[in-house]
Amino acid sequence: MLKKLLLVTLLLVMVTGVSVSAQDGAITELNIWWAEWDPANYLQQIGNDYEAATGIKVNVVQTPWGSYFDRVATEWAAQGSAFDMVVGDSQWLGQAVTEGHYVDMTSFLNDNGITETVTPATLQYYGEYPADSGSYYAYPTEGDANGWAYRRDLFEDADNMAAFEAAYGRPLAVPTTWDELRDVAEFFTRPDEGLYGIGVYTQIDYDGITMGFQNPFFAYGGNWYDEDYNTLGVVNSEGAVGALEMYRDLYSFAPPGTNNAFFAEMNDVFTNGQAAMIMNYFAFFPALANPNINPYAADTGYFSMPSGPDGERYAALGGQGISINNYVDDARKQASMDFIQWFATEEVQLRWAQLGGYTCNIAVLESPEFLEVAPYNAAFAETMTFVKDFSNIPEFGQLLEVAQRYLHAYVVGGEGTAQDALDNMAAEMDGILVEAGYVTE
Amino acid sequence: MAQVNTVKPAQAAAPRPAARRHLSDRRIVQLFIFPTIILLILMNIFPLIYSLFLSFNEYSVISADAPRWIGIENYADILSDAQFWHNFGVTGTYALISVALQTVVGFGLAMLLRTKFTGSGVVTTLILVPMMLSPIVVATFWKLILNPSYGIFNYVFGFLTLLVPTIIGVIVVALLWGTLPKLLGEQRANIGRIALLILIPVVAHLVWRFVLSQEGTYGDFFTRVTYRETAPEWLGEPALAMWAIIIVDVWMWSPFVMLLCLAGLSAIPEYLYEAAAIDRAGGWFQFRRITLPQVMPLLLIAVLFRTIEAFKQFDLVMGLTGGGPGDVTETVSVQLYQLAFQGQFDTGKSSALAYIVLVVIIAVSNLYIRALNRAREG
């Protein structure tokens, strides 16, 4: 009988997951969900520091990228409390907020002055929903965006410099405009030598080609919709058409076989010496600075996005913000806020950056310690001031599918004209937004 | 106490067989079947019925909102969507060409391996290896094989395009070799032979090149993969991407057709051929009247399985092209995946699409099964 009683009690504890410590109200553990990658390991180290300082254990639970959103979304649907905090993609924000999965952190972030510590663009795209509402649901945690890596040895080669100047009438240098970038890409495209000018995102499976295209798209004055959610005349504006033609031009200088390429393939064509320049998220640049991975590590330089025809610069946003699960009890919400408040301090953010995390803290981004700790940090700090994101409304998945299909068909498949591709894209996106009720017919 | 001690072990165990006697044979059968039925209901029947219900609802699996009944709206939306018909066309084209080629190649291999020779067991096993691999593994290494920069496929293909006219030339030389003395006289025959050895491969090569460079569907296709300035991007060019997937699928699944055909061929009684030989029937006649009809039931089963699989094709497409360029290789299954996951999570509409695919597969299977029955009867 006693054995049965013990067994039943044990089962009850296992099924309900109720711990003695939670019952008496004292929080001894916090669970953070994130994708499985290096920054999550760095966050675990930060969590270990927090445990040393407060006695509260922090578990960073990692899930492979491929199933990360599915797992979080399943927990949302069940209104579960398996995690206290989640480091989520900026694109999830609309859905998570409208369906009530995230805690409104506006007062907490404002009252503690945390909103002033991070760059405005990161706060806007990682934390704010709806746009320009001043309501925040996440603290910008892992800042990330697209930047460029280039082969300094090729750029500084005397023969190359002379040949480039003779051909283009200006010195060979890091490009500052998209037109210059195109010229440099063309110059280094030498199939006979197995060298190509540039590597750009073309992945069709999820969001790769759209993320890559956004860089010239925003810089040329394009946008996914205006303040009234109109896509017609916005997605297919004259500037947007120019940007798409530019992107296709760039793809023509890319190594063969990069027709479905994303971050891994970009680093591959760079480290195997096929590309003189590549676009990639800053999160993947540490591999290029590692001589064990990149034989050109010592000769690899980094630069931020060039500007468009009117001098505008934008970089497609990656990265994530940390949010609090709305389905945990008030004590756990408060404990999560305490952790975020501690994590947002300049001292911890500097430690975060030193570990390898990409901070969004203004003071740390400007500090010499940060700028000098890695060769790509200066370009990253600059980039964090002009990032811009894809739509984060709940219908982003439908909009993304349309963008991916038309961009890939034109850039990789060479089908039709840029104008046709964007006209069709704008029309289909308009249909989605009309059906969702953002736009009236 | 004394009474308890006197009870023998055999007596104490006596009630157990009596209890067991209550289990009739029928009850034992039920006990064995019951867990399987429960599993079937939980894992197959319930999801099937529930997804049918969801297909008539507006519902997202990641949303906290309950399903909302909208009748046949999901079905109407899908069937009136041009993208669905495009994807359906892609799937049909792919299934038709791929299964046809697998049938020809698989049957051909089975005919070659029908006669036992030294090492035929090893050869058969090696041929079967592709179908034992995971499709995503196959897609990953074929992506490397097809890479225009360092993949071996273009090299081999380019070599073949030179090899084919050369072989044609050599065959022509061989055929003319013996007739030259009659045409040119014995003394000039050797000069003629040398001239043929040089000229015919060159001429054959030029003719081959002319044939391949002709405009039109096939001319355009071959031009793209042969005489061109840059290496063909099999996975990045709209004209080639579908062919690349078909080539990989044929490589992977022809062995399956071969296996079933081999089973059919080995079951043909030898006396049929002996009787045909006595009647002086030719090889082609024997093939048409004996081999093919006898193998047909198993061949149709192979074709049925492959057609069903081809209609569901997902992993090879995702691994090789992701449905691109644009939507050139986007099969219905890829569209279903995008609709059900990938940020959209439109569970209601994706359930409806899954049911449409199911109905199509059932219809096609029915046609095959009828043909199969006819083949068995006839």
Over residues A304-338, the pLDDT tens digits come to 999 999 999 999 999 999 999 999 999 999 999 99
Going from N- to C-terminal start, the domains of chain B cover 81-146+237-378, 149-233
Tokens 């949302």 appear where?
Answer: A76
A52 has a pLDDT exceeding 50: yes
Pair of tokens at residue A387: 């990032």
Listed in order, strand segments (DSSP E) in chain B are 57-58, 68-69
Residue B119 CB contacts under 8 Å (≥ 6 apart), including other chains: none
One of 3.40.190.10, 3.40.50.720, 3.40.109.10, 3.20.20.140 is the CATH number of A29-143+318-388, namely 3.40.190.10
B351 has a pLDDT exceeding 90: yes
DSSP state of A378: H
> ipTM value of the model?
0.81
Contact A191 B345 (CB under 8 A): no
Global pTM value: 0.83
The mean pLDDT value for B81-85 works out to: 93
How far does the CA of residue A135 sit from the closest CA of chain B (Å)?
22
Q: What's the pLDDT band for B214 if we cut at 50, 70, 90?
A: low
How crowded is residue B70: how many other Cβ atoms within 10 Å of its Cβ?
15
Question: Residue B318: which of A205, A256, A396 has the nearest Cβ?
Answer: A205
pLDDT score at B7:
45
Superfamily name with CATH number, domain A145-316+392-435: Periplasmic binding protein-like II (3.40.190.10)
| More confident of the two residues A164 and B183 | A164
- Would you identify the CATH topology of the domain B81-146+237-378? MetI-like fold (1.10.3720)
Q: What's the pLDDT band for A163 if we cut at 50, 70, 90?
A: very high
Q: What's the pLDDT band for B212 if we cut at 50, 70, 90?
A: low
B217 has a pLDDT exceeding 50: no
Q: Which string of DSSP letters, residue by residue, matches B194-217?
A: HHHHHHHHHHHHHHHHHHHT-SSH
Strands A85-89, A196-199: pairing is unpaired
Q: What is d(CA B204, CA A84) in angstroms, rounded to the nearest whole number?
A: 74
Contacts of A414 in chain B (CB under 8 A): 237-238, 325
Q: Give CA separation, B201 vs A295, B119, B171, B197, B227, in Å.
A: 47, 35, 10, 7, 17
B292-311 and B347-377 helices, crossing angle to 10°: 180
B246 has a pLDDT exceeding 90: yes
What stretch of H or E contains B352? helix B347-377
Name the average pLDDT for chain A: 92
pLDDT score at A217:
98
Residue of chain B minimizing CA distance to A95: B63
Q: Are A36 and A64 in contact (CB under 8 A)?
A: yes
Q: Are B233 and A257 in contact (CB under 8 A)?
A: yes
Going from N- to C-terminal start, the domains of chain A cover 29-143+318-388, 145-316+392-435
Contact A413 B61 (CB under 8 A): no
Question: Residue B341: which of A70, A91, A406 has the nearest Cβ?
Answer: A70
Question: What letters, b where the CB count within 10 A reaches 16 and e where it falls short, cover B144-157?
Answer: ebbbbbebebbeeb
Domains A29-143+318-388 and A145-316+392-435 share a fold: yes
Query: Which amino acid is residue B304, in one-letter code?
Result: L
Spell out the long-range contacts of B69-73 with Cβ–Cβ below 8 A and sequence spacing 24 or more: B70/B348
Q: What's the pLDDT band for B16 if we cut at 50, 70, 90?
A: low
Dihedral through CA B243, CA B246, CA B250, CA B252, nearest 10? 120
A300 has a pLDDT exceeding 90: yes
The mean pLDDT value for A136-163 works out to: 97
Q: What's the pLDDT band for A21 if we cut at 50, 70, 90?
A: very low
Contacts of A396 in chain B (CB under 8 A): 343
Q: Are A392 and A90 in contact (CB under 8 A)?
A: yes
Contact B61 A203 (CB under 8 A): no
Contacts of B338 in chain A (CB under 8 A): 401
Contacts of B236 in chain A (CB under 8 A): 256-257, 259-260, 412-413
Per-residue model confidence as pLDDT tens digits over B264-303? 999 999 999 999 999 988 888 999 999 999 999 999 999 9
Per-residue model confidence as pLDDT tens digits over B117-133? 888 889 999 999 999 99
Contacts of B147 in chain A (CB under 8 A): 256-257
How far does the CA of residue A290 sit from the closest CA of chain B (Å)?
25
How far does the CA of residue B237 sit from the closest CA of chain A (Å)?
6
Q: Tell me what percent of the residues of chain A surpass a pLDDT of 70.
A: 94
Q: What's the pLDDT band for A17 if we cut at 50, 70, 90?
A: very low
pLDDT score at A15:
46
